[in-house]
Structure 1
Amino acid sequence: MIRSVPLALAALALVAGCRRHDDAGPIEASVIGPAFSAHADADGGPLAAPQAALIGATGQGLLRFDASGQIVPGLAARWIVGDGGRSLIFRLPDLPAPGVRPIDAEAIAQRIRAAIAADSRNRLKPLLGAIDEVDAVTPQVIDIELKAPRPNLLQLFAQPDLAMGEPGRGPFAITEARKGTLRLRALPDRDADPDETPRLPPAVRLRAQTAGRAVAWFVAGATDLVQGGRFTDLPVAQAATLPRGALHFDPVKGLFGLAFVRADSGFIADAGNRRALSMAVDRESVGTSLGLPNWSPAAAIVAAGTPEIEHPAMPPWSTTPLADRQAQARGTIDRWRSAHGAPPVLRIAMPAGPGARLLFAAIARGWRSIGVSAVAVGPDDAADLRLIDEIAPADVASFYLRSFACDRQVACSDVTDRLLVEARDADSLAERTVLLIQADALMADNTPFIAFGPPVRWSLVAPSLDLYRDSPWAIHPLNELRTPLKR
């Protein structure tokens, strides 16, 4: 049974009577997620949304994303791609901006080496396997040599997971930390004309909150920006009375669906049964249940238009009407039942939240139509399938395909694993593309994953944030939210 959506009335009462402040004051920003941690380390595992936002504000990598998701200089003032795509050379500025501690190339090189080290759990590590050497050629020059060319690798160097997180590296510095709220002051732009009066971005008060509290504060006018929203908490925002145009969806790509946990025998070890389960899901109802405008369901593992695999392999049944698909899938399940008995009740590991309950209900309806029952379990419980909800950190096909390599403990194939290794070591982009296309086709047939469509990332944005843009990475730089006032 789907419970009613909580409206966080207690949180709303706390801020009732507040109003959105004028454009001259600091920006009030909330990020949905756990409290900030003083010891968060991207090499220890994926960053929670509040920590990623904080690192993006107070730290910086060689590159960064601007408000619209384009790569712009970060710590590196400029860069070139040489040797046919096998060499990335970054140059740091000769002099840092006033108030910014100098940094040399060796410190950045050590940061990258740590991210790709054997014991690293950095979420980008599987995509950085092409890095052969990282050298600090001079105090201002870093040379990254690749085993083979990699398109769009630069996008990874703009992610907060590869940032230098020490204070003073980013566009902001923390000036106050009080009751879970961080006050951030903008630092001077190193590229600003020293003869002109600086126009610094507004200060920001940044806090990590639950979805209910963040939405309540926004409705009450106490917050200008809420970011970090996912499908799990979207109903909380939809249940609130929001100003027109306040709810934004980022046009992200990635993986949103169910991965089969590795099984050597039994019902889900059979590729035909996995295929039947995927066929039975009504992807249109997933978008409808979650109330997603302009959401495009998809059955392919790789997002359409991804370089190297512009046209990903589609399951043969993808153009078959739902009723016919479900009839075919029911036949597969009936044959299994005749030979082995009733299928087991499948356990699906799902996150908490009203959106997750809505999603599970849509999945279960489709499976009931073919005679399969399911139960939702916690994200860390033993399960037959687990929800994957991840944004692609770069436009690379390997992000999608390597997510279903055998070392990920999912239903996999030794053949596709060999193809992925050969693609990683391929000498040319043409050879790499052929190998990735072959791996994609085999995975589409083996069905390690039930894709629903693109992930869901939402924000609430006040009209005063005139520089805010929807981002393909769901990254919203805090220094590019509102036009600075002249001083």
Structure 2
Amino acid sequence: MAGLTPKRALLAALAAAGLLLSNCGKQSEGVARVAAIGPMPKLVETVVAPLSPGDALVRQTMAQGLVRFDERGQVVPGLAERWNVSDDGLSYIFRLQTGEWPDGRKIRADDVARILSRQLRPSSTNPLKDTLGAVGEIVAMTDRVIEIRLLAPRPNLLQLLAQPEFGLVRASVGTGPFLIPAPEDAAAFPADEEAKGALLLAHRIRIPDAEDPVERVRISGGNAKALAAAFADGKLDLVVGGTVDDLPTALAQKMPRGALRFDPVAGLFGLMPTKRNDALQEVEVRRLLSRALDRAGLVGGLRVGGLVPRATLLQAGLEGIGSPAQPSWLDQPATERRTALVSEARRLFGSTERPTLRIALPNGPGGKYLLARLAYDWAPIGIKVERAPSEASADLVWIDEVAPSASPAWFLRRFRCGIAPICVEESEALLAQARSTLFAEQRAALFLEAAEQMDREQLFIPIAAPIRWSLVSGRAPGFAENQFARHTLVGLANERFSDGR
């Protein structure tokens, strides 16, 4: 509302609120029907493993952190109503909203500090704990003020704190924005067949001097095929949590135009070699496998607009690194590379029998597509593939993970010694320096040097960015694609309620 006086701005806001109430009273009595692919979603109190799409959705919906994501993946206030960052970037001070836990206990800064600090203890198994390695201390300054003190600047700290893994849960309950509905709100949920076993939640929107509208959602789980069919039949307003494994299911289902939506995420999407096969201990063999892949053909078969093949661990758009240079052969058609690849395979293996590689892949139709593509691309160099029954028995493991922030650190630290089966010891010192340096330019330079080492040793065989898709109906105008594939349910059924609008 630039250019408006405070009084006019307030009048405009109240006028907008009035429009909301007059235009969507009918909607506020309805329920947004949301489903996540996978088991029935639940509120996970202590995060000890990567969250399923449904559990992540519920946690960010019922247990916001100090900050949270809006529909476009931008950081907005959560439990903290505002925050300040020191000039040197080493101190983040958050002022908490006034409020209570659902049991009536006042929300205090010392409780919040204790909950967050517990996530960072050495004993914590939170999968994102390592991303907050620069956090030195979390302290309560007053009842409503909390400070996070850093050992080195982290411009992406707020993005990490907004992830559902750092949502605030106490005694199995969170602070919203959606909560288990009060009895007067629960009565508004229709008791239909689809609601059985689903999680029913309500969010009361506070509007000064007006009746508070209530958003209601019903969250369920299920397999991709059943949810896609239910969506096509108009029984669901939103389906989230789609990956490459169930993408063929969505593509095969007849959908309304524009219903299938893809998030522009960054992350890891490719193969990680293990130590189970002797041939893969040779860096030249790992490089051969990477060059033999027809990434353009594989990506084209997935039918995802804007998905770009890549052969580097880091991808374009990450903080401070620009666009990593791709190897010159990446743009060369696979058929033109094949003769040289066959000769290289003959040199490496000679007359010995070529290995059969066991690959741990998802079990759905997308996993079958990937296995078939790998078999086709590696057949000319004499490499056969088969599905591994488990990751523990695999020679190569498929990695499909979305980056939790725009920092290159997450990509690189995923392949450090002690974490990845094959690593580069020289990179450890670079990553340690990057974690402690106070200078952004030096940090970026260290990341690039470590990335070059890891790419040279082919610790990972990248394909592209991960695929995350949703099915979105016209009854969910508040939905938007974003870089983290985290989708708020605030304002889902009416975009005027959306965060930050």
TM-score (ref. length: structure 1): 0.89
Question: Within 2, Cα distance between the matches of 1:62 and 1:199?
Answer: 24
Question: Within 2, Cα distance between the matches of 1:77 and 1:97?
Answer: 16
- Per the TM alignment, residue 478 of structure 1 is displaced from its structure 2 partner at its CA by 1.1
- Counterpart pick for 2:126 among 103, 122, 128: 122
Structure 2 vs 1, CA of residues 65 and 124 (structure 1 numbering), >3 Å: closer, same or farther? same
The residue type paired with residue 33 of structure 1 is G
> After superposition, what is the alpha-carbon deviation per residue over 1:453-477, rounded to whole angstroms, capped at 9, x for unaligned?
1111111111121221112111111
> After superposition, what is the alpha-carbon deviation per residue over 1:82-114, rounded to whole angstroms, capped at 9, x for unaligned?
141111111112456999853111122122212
- Counterpart pick for 2:393 among 378, 382, 389: 382
Aligned twin of 2:7: none
The residue type paired with residue 214 of structure 1 is L
Alpha-carbon contact 1:62-1:75 (below 8 Å) kept? yes
- Per the TM alignment, residue 134 of structure 1 is displaced from its structure 2 partner at its CA by 1.1
The residue type paired with residue 140 of structure 2 is A
- Counterpart pick for 1:405 among 413, 416, 428: 416
**Secondary structure of 2:300's match?**
helix
**Secondary structure of 1:477's match?**
coil
**Structure 1 position 391 matched with structure 2 position 405:** no
**Secondary structure of 1:256's match?**
strand
Question: Within 2, Cα distance between the matches of 1:229 and 1:40?
Answer: 24
Structure 2 vs 1, CA of residues 36 and 153 (structure 1 numbering), >3 Å: closer, same or farther? same
Aligned twin of 2:179: 173
Question: Within 1, Cα distance between the matches of 2:371 and 2:30?
Answer: 43
**Secondary structure of 2:359's match?**
strand
The residue type paired with residue 180 of structure 2 is I
- Counterpart pick for 2:243 among 230, 252, 261: 230
Aligned twin of 1:109: 113
Alpha-carbon contact 1:336-1:343 (below 8 Å) kept? no
Alpha-carbon contact 1:252-1:456 (below 8 Å) kept? yes
Question: Within 2, Cα distance between the matches of 1:256 and 1:484?
Answer: 32
- Per the TM alignment, residue 161 of structure 1 is displaced from its structure 2 partner at its CA by 0.4
**Secondary structure of 1:360's match?**
helix
Question: Within 2, Cα distance between the matches of 1:229 and 1:99?
Answer: 35
**Structure 1 position 302 matched with structure 2 position 300:** no
**Secondary structure of 1:367's match?**
helix
Question: Within 2, Cα distance between the matches of 1:329 and 1:139?
Answer: 65
Question: Within 1, Cα distance between the matches of 2:211 and 2:401?
Answer: 42
Alpha-carbon contact 1:41-1:47 (below 8 Å) kept? no
> After superposition, what is the alpha-carbon deviation per residue over 1:196-245, rounded to whole angstroms, capped at 9, x for unaligned?
33233x31111011111111111111111111111101111111111111
> After superposition, what is the alpha-carbon deviation per residue over 1:342-368, rounded to whole angstroms, capped at 9, x for unaligned?
232111111110011001111111111
Question: Within 1, Cα distance between the matches of 2:45 and 2:96?
Answer: 26
Aligned twin of 1:9: none
**Secondary structure of 2:106's match?**
coil
> After superposition, what is the alpha-carbon deviation per residue over 1:118-138, rounded to whole angstroms, capped at 9, x for unaligned?
122212112111111111111
Question: Within 2, Cα distance between the matches of 1:98 and 1:345?
Answer: 56
Question: Within 1, Cα distance between the matches of 2:154 and 2:102?
Answer: 36
Question: Within 2, Cα distance between the matches of 1:433 and 1:353?
Answer: 38
Aligned twin of 2:341: 329
My pick for the range that moved more, 180-189 or 319-328, is: 319-328
- Per the TM alignment, residue 291 of structure 1 is displaced from its structure 2 partner at its CA by 2.4
1:45-444 matches, within 5 Å, as: 45-94=49-98, 102-166=106-170, 167-175=173-181, 179-189=196-206, 192-193=207-208, 195-200=209-214, 202-262=215-275, 266-315=278-327, 317-338=329-350, 341-444=352-455
The runs of 5 or more residues in structure 2 that have no matched partner are 1-25
Aligned twin of 2:3: none
Alpha-carbon contact 2:201-2:218 (below 8 Å) kept? yes
**Secondary structure of 1:52's match?**
helix
Alpha-carbon contact 2:272-2:398 (below 8 Å) kept? yes
Alpha-carbon contact 2:272-2:396 (below 8 Å) kept? yes
**Secondary structure of 2:80's match?**
coil
- Per the TM alignment, residue 183 of structure 1 is displaced from its structure 2 partner at its CA by 1.1
Alpha-carbon contact 2:41-2:55 (below 8 Å) kept? yes
Aligned twin of 1:5: none
The residue type paired with residue 484 of structure 2 is W
The residue type paired with residue 179 of structure 2 is A
Question: Within 1, Cα distance between the matches of 2:82 and 2:462?
Answer: 38
My pick for the range that moved more, 242-251 or 286-295, is: 286-295
- Per the TM alignment, residue 49 of structure 1 is displaced from its structure 2 partner at its CA by 0.9
> After superposition, what is the alpha-carbon deviation per residue over 1:125-170, rounded to whole angstroms, capped at 9, x for unaligned?
1211111111111111111111111121210010100001353501
- Per the TM alignment, residue 321 of structure 1 is displaced from its structure 2 partner at its CA by 3.6
Question: Within 2, Cα distance between the matches of 1:217 and 1:321?
Answer: 41
Aligned twin of 2:457: 446
Alpha-carbon contact 2:180-2:202 (below 8 Å) kept? yes
How many pairs were matched up?
458
Question: Within 1, Cα distance between the matches of 2:268 and 2:311?
Answer: 11
Alpha-carbon contact 1:183-1:206 (below 8 Å) kept? yes
**Secondary structure of 2:269's match?**
strand
Alpha-carbon contact 1:404-1:448 (below 8 Å) kept? yes
> After superposition, what is the alpha-carbon deviation per residue over 1:254-286, rounded to whole angstroms, capped at 9, x for unaligned?
1111111246x8211111110110001111122
Alpha-carbon contact 1:104-1:140 (below 8 Å) kept? yes
My pick for the range that moved more, 113-122 or 33-42, is: 33-42
Structure 2 vs 1, CA of residues 329 and 103 (structure 1 numbering), >3 Å: closer, same or farther? farther
Aligned twin of 2:21: none
The residue type paired with residue 174 of structure 1 is I
Question: Within 2, Cα distance between the matches of 1:358 and 1:36?
Answer: 28
Question: Within 2, Cα distance between the matches of 1:485 and 1:148?
Answer: 39
* RMSD after superposition: 2.3
